[in-house]
């Protein structure tokens, strides 16, 4: 492994910083824009990302890396400055989502398999030339009466490992994201079931990563937290979520992994922050924990922006606030009171 992979991973895990997931594919950003009655145009996608990345102070202080789509990695702000240059100026590492999406898996279980391995070696070489320091691939694991099947867990774990080895060969740090989804159908599973499935998935992912010869010191993990399904009536306390999540991770994630950056998975902004902070108050963990949130960092800023460049400043303030709160959470220093007072 080139020495720099571990150095990039460590930089992404800088204490008090985390990752902004701004890698919504065209379909996903379209759904976000729909909610605020905006059309999904190239210009609005550019403006939206320009609003986020131009929150200079927040980016410098709280954000270590941004996950981009291929469109954004190659795109310029309205001024003509490439987004990757804007990020580099703020000392933020540009990353790239390289999977091509999760597609229906053949079979009766309603599961998904992530695609994108064909031609990935060539794509990674071109992303490295554009300055991408890390990449991300998301596997989607469904829970229902018959899912996840062993076949689906193994297929997704195998793809994650093939992706990760190709990234390391290209000098790019792979973020490995096996997401056990909480907002799927029916989404009423218990926290216990989420814990068991998350553990099973992580066990298989690390088995495949080892088999593939992936250097664990040159990657990061992006997991879900252990939570009941979003349609479940179970309401665990913040401490319970933190305790169960850390327990599952400690059982299945090797200490050689330089860091864990969580996805928010449809939690409210405050829940995602509170859970991260509580986990960071638990001692004896071998890896640092931070955020790699999409929705939980962007929700408020997206609404404040509302598609208008004249709202950039107020939207950036909203983004800066969430980024600040999650920075505190990454240090285990967040509290409800601070969030409301700030």
Catalytic residue set: 177, 222
Instruction: Decide if residue 295 touches ligand 5MM (CB under 6 A).
Output: yes
Nearest CA among 222, 235, 229, 161 for reference residue 195: 229
Q: How many residues are listed for the chain in this entry?
A: 342
Number of residues that bind ligand 5MM (CB under 6 A): 16
Nearest CA among 98, 161, 170, 104 for reference residue 135: 98
> Cβ closer to ligand 5MM: 84 or 138?
138
Least distance in Å: CB of 272 to ligand 5MM?
A: 7
Site for ligand 5MM in 196-215 (CB under 6 A): none
Backbone phi, psi, residue 332, to 5°: 75, 25
The whole-angstrom separation of Cα 6 and Cα 162 is 19
> Cβ closer to ligand 5MM: 21 or 87?
21
Mark the segment that binds ligand 5MM (CB under 6 A) among 78-86, 208-216, 246-254, 293-301.
293-301
Site for ligand 5MM in 134-153 (CB under 6 A): 138
Nearest CA among 234, 252, 228, 247 for reference residue 180: 228
Binder of ligand 5MM out of 264, 273, 277, 290 (CB under 6 A)? 264
Binder of ligand 5MM out of 195, 265, 320, 328 (CB under 6 A)? 265
Nearest CA among 276, 320, 319 for reference residue 301: 319
Residue-by-residue DSSP string for 100-155: --EEEPSSSS--EEE---TTHHHHHHHHHHTT--EEEEEEEE--SSS-S-HHHHHH
Binder of ligand 5MM out of 65, 133, 218, 294 (CB under 6 A)? 294
Instruction: Decide if residue 220 touches ligand 5MM (CB under 6 A).
Output: no
Q: Per-residue x/- marks for ligand 5MM, 6-25, CB under 6 A?
A: ---------------x-xxx
The binding site for ligand 5MM (CB under 6 A) comprises: 21, 23-25, 28, 67, 101, 138, 179, 263-265, 293-296
């Amino acid at each position: 492994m080139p020495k720099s992979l571990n150095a990039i991973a460590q930089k992404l895990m800088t204490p008090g910083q985390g990752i902004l997931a701004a890698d919504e594919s065209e379909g996903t950003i379209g759904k976000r824009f729909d909610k605020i009655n905006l059309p999904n145009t190239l210009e609005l996608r550019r403006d939206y990302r320009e609003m986020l990345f131009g929150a200079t102070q927040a980016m410098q202080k709280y954000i270590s890396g941004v996950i981009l789509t291929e469109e954004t990695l190659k795109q310029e702000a309205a001024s003509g400055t490439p987004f990757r240059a804007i990020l580099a100026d703020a000392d933020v590492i540009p990353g790239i989502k390289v999977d091509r999406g999760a597609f229906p898996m053949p079979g009766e279980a309603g599961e998904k398999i992530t695609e994108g391995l064909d031609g990935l070696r060539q794509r990674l070489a071109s992303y490295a030339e554009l300055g991408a320091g890390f990449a991300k691939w998301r596997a989607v694991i469904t829970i229902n009466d018959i899912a996840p099947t062993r076949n689906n867990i193994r297929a997704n774990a195998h793809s994650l490992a093939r992706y990760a080895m190709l990234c390391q060969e290209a000098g790019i740090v792979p973020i490995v994201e096996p997401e056990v989804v909480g907002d799927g159908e029916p989404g009423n599973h218990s926290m216990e079931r989420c814990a068991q499935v998350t553990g099973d998935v992580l066990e298989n992912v690390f088995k495949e990563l080892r088999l593939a010869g992936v250097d664990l010191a040159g990657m990061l993990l992006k997991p879900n937290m252990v939570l009941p399904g979003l349609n479940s009536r179970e309401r665990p306390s913040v401490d319970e979520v933190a305790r169960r999540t850390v327990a599952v991770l400690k059982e299945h994630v090797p200490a050689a992994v330089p860091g864990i950056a969580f996805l928010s998975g449809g939690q409210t902004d405050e829940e995602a922050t509170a859970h991260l902070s509580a986990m960071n108050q638990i001692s004896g963990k071998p890896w640092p924990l931070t955020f790699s949130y999409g929705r939980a960092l962007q929700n408020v800023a997206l609404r404040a922006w509302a598609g208008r460049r004249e709202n950039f400043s107020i939207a950036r303030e909203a983004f800066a606030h969430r980024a600040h709160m999650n920075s505190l959470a990454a240090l285990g220093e967040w509290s409800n009171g601070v969030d409301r007072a700030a």
